[in-house]
Structure 1
């Protein structure tokens, strides 16, 4: 339920208090929808852009080139040399191919610029390159997360997500069958209806099914929000670095491995300090007595069970580590249970930390699965479901506007919002329920309180403005 509803209070006949409560919920749904609907359309459209860009071309562009499988694979060190010949610079990341037909990818930094180089893993020949973070996926991701206006955009979207929860709650209440009607009247749309009634029936039914997933999408999306995600839930759900015995810690956190608005590190690890090389930890990694080379680290990754696609981050300075990782959030696999991050000392080749899905806390596990589901990374069924959900959100947003436009009197110079009339105890109950829900999300709660105070102290005392907003 993501937009202005057109459910008419005639449906809520019965006791006066019950009717007031119904209209109060409708009024909350109406005003919340005015703010949320544009954001929901934006999130759905950009979400579809990211979903199909990742599906057709790969999140990192790994599907851009197709190679012909050969009997043997060239050493990754030879592949990296081909990447540097293509783009001279410093290699900072290797992404192993998911299938025998895909190319290896290397991220090469050239000053402030960063490029992705595709290399044939069999012939160790560069196939092409492109500027990183300049594709359609990255553009859609930046809009999806910040509206291209940085922190302000993040905050505005977080507010909309909080009010989106209110839309879901009020929408489900408005959806509930009344006046002796059974669930069949709302579980299936009345396609025989005409005009506004048809729009209303479709909005009801599609909104009910969409609301079952809306809260999941909003909560999983909020995990990356600046206040609710990073300052609240993530802060107390971070994997404790103290579990890494006798391992020195870096001043950097795992968030330093992200690039721009695109997240590459599991949610529960993002604020955890990185380990530092130079430890005396005795967990065997690469072959003892042998140089800790790129090929040795890749061999270790395969030995540890990192098959098909995985990512390898190179040490960035004298205290940094090799990091082998695989997670659904980065499109590495389709199963969150396979999430795993391994840090290896760049000097000794010893394993400093090995974190898998089973090591996450309850919130970390929920978010690992929720974010993978949100991004459509869990298989074809997930891809189809996310597509249907996004299209439903767009329809609900548009249909809400259409119903409002059809309901308002021609030439009306006001919003024509649902009118509660005399406030009763159930109105107060509804207000408290909505206020409590909003306060679970600080920014939305702050905006709600500000609006209530503005209405109490200003709007209701300025007759022309009050009329326009009524």
Structure 2
């Protein structure tokens, strides 16, 4: 009888053993399911992450690159007192008699030239540098031919317009799913995952080393990457402009009041793809100058090539300095109802502290302030966006810039090690892509499914892409034996 008891394990112990086995199988199935999602998202995302990192590095060091390329026409020798900005403007008008002068950019250094934006027509725009002490036009910087402009265009549209913007938005949205699945794979769940957590095992082979580098870098920088993705997504054409930015655009009725609004919005004042006006103002209409300040002005054009009827650039700059502007841009009126706009904001790199953001519109005839928007007027999301973009662009300090540069390099390493891991473990001569295996008994993972659904709802283009991939898998891949084997 005692022998019989020894041979028959207790029911509770047997059930516990079976339960532990089922739990381990479920955990393993979920791990491989998360890995499959991570793999498929990475297929699409990795090329974009590498592109965004490299172009981001170029944009990050735009000032240094520009200084190297154009030092001869940027640097000046201080010689006494600077001429009035209007005198410098006259020199530019003489040099470019048939062009539109749209902007004055004040230098914040005594040994740097001031700049005027000159529109030559046909979409061509140049920055003309002027010696503030002599009024001499030194040279010009082709805005369409700068490294920054090229990097920015690739970074934002892949040089193919709105379709490039959509592709980048999809990649950035799917990168959030990549991030969530990556964190799940990274966090220790068993002895195997604990072995490489926050460690680099250099003696375990190439694949293990690449895995540790990929997982630990990605996990440690996951929050930073999320902040970069969200601040970057806020510029995109669907999630950014239609959803987030649309709800956080500055309410014109709040400050504009009965001031007439023009057909222009703030985004129209930007030059090319450069973001010179605050994000939450881009979709807001620009106010108009009131022509009744002098009836003799009404029939005159006050385009930038003939500003004699306006109150004048010198007066506007003096007012701006009285308001506390130091480094700023002045957008010149381009019609008889146009306004002078003085802007200094962190997104454009005018100031380093987003709390110093300010955009002020002046009536071109009286100099009256029509609209004055500061940090205090921003919505909560607009404040987060302004602060986030300053961090994103490395504008806060030299340390911020260096950390961003290291992050760009780290993101390239994370992407390349992901590719390297796949390359090492890929099946050779088997007609397979090397997708992580699927478990038949994996069932529905509620947390994972919730993550996919949440990503799809919050980021519509990512959702459409995921649905399209499921449809392609069901209608084409699974019904074609060769494709089914390739993606198995």
Per the normalisation by structure 2, the TM-score is 0.87
RMSD: 2.3
Give the count of matched residue pairs. 450
Structure 2 match to 1:454: 472
Structure 2 match to 1:56: 65
**Aligned 1:12-23 pairs, distance under 5 A:** 15-23=24-32
CA contact 1:246–1:280 (8 Å) conserved in 2: no
Of residues 104, 107, 115 in structure 1, which corresponds to 2:117? 107
Structure 2 match to 1:440: 458
Of residues 292, 295, 298 in structure 1, which corresponds to 2:311? 292
Of residues 339, 362, 377 in structure 2, which corresponds to 1:321? 339
Of residues 161, 165, 181 in structure 2, which corresponds to 1:150? 161
Query: C-alpha distance in 1, partners of 2:316/2:72?
Result: 25
In structure 1, list runs of 5 or more residues that go unmatched: 1-11, 282-289
- Secondary structure of the corresponding residue to residue 187 of structure 1: coil
Which one has a bigger Cα radius of gyration? Answer: 2
Q: Report the CA distance between 1:119 and its aligned residue.
A: 0.7
Structure 2 match to 1:256: 268
Of residues 374, 382, 388 in structure 1, which corresponds to 2:406? 388
Seen in structure 2, the aligned counterparts of structure 1 residues 335 and 19 have a Cα distance that, compared at 3 Å, is same
Tell whether 2:227 aligns with 1:209: no
Structure 2 match to 1:26: 35
Moved more, 23-32 or 432-441: 432-441
Tell whether 2:129 aligns with 1:118: yes
Structure 2 match to 1:80: 89
Moved more, 411-420 or 332-341: 411-420
- Secondary structure of the corresponding residue to residue 230 of structure 2: helix
Q: Report the CA distance between 1:140 and its aligned residue.
A: 0.7
Query: C-alpha distance in 1, partners of 2:391/2:67?
Result: 17
Per the normalisation by structure 1, the TM-score is 0.91
Instruction: Indicate the structure whose relative CO is greater, using CA pairs within 8 Å and at least 6 residues apart.
Output: 1
Query: C-alpha distance in 2, partners of 1:216/1:386?
Result: 12
Seen in structure 2, the aligned counterparts of structure 1 residues 63 and 436 have a Cα distance that, compared at 3 Å, is farther
Q: Report the CA distance between 1:221 and its aligned residue.
A: 0.8
Of residues 397, 415, 419 in structure 1, which corresponds to 2:433? 415
Query: C-alpha distance in 2, partners of 1:409/1:182?
Result: 23
- Secondary structure of the corresponding residue to residue 121 of structure 1: coil
CA contact 2:186–2:193 (8 Å) conserved in 1: no
Tell whether 2:237 aligns with 1:226: yes
Greater helix fraction, Structure 1 or Structure 2 = 2
Q: Report the CA distance between 1:20 and its aligned residue.
A: 1.2
Tell whether 2:171 aligns with 1:160: yes
Q: Report the CA distance between 1:409 and its aligned residue.
A: 2.5
Q: Report the CA distance between 1:348 and its aligned residue.
A: 1.4
Q: Report the CA distance between 1:64 and its aligned residue.
A: 5.4
Deviations 1:281-330 (A, max 9, x none): 9xxxxxxxx961111011111111111x2000000111111000001111
- Secondary structure of the corresponding residue to residue 344 of structure 1: strand
Structure 2 match to 1:4: none
CA contact 1:279–1:345 (8 Å) conserved in 2: no
Seen in structure 2, the aligned counterparts of structure 1 residues 128 and 187 have a Cα distance that, compared at 3 Å, is same
CA contact 1:166–1:437 (8 Å) conserved in 2: yes
Of residues 40, 44, 53 in structure 1, which corresponds to 2:49? 40
Structure 1 match to 2:9: none
Structure 2 match to 1:237: 248
Query: C-alpha distance in 1, partners of 2:36/2:470?
Result: 14
Seen in structure 2, the aligned counterparts of structure 1 residues 184 and 94 have a Cα distance that, compared at 3 Å, is farther
Moved more, 455-464 or 383-392: 455-464
Q: Report the CA distance between 1:85 and its aligned residue.
A: 3.1
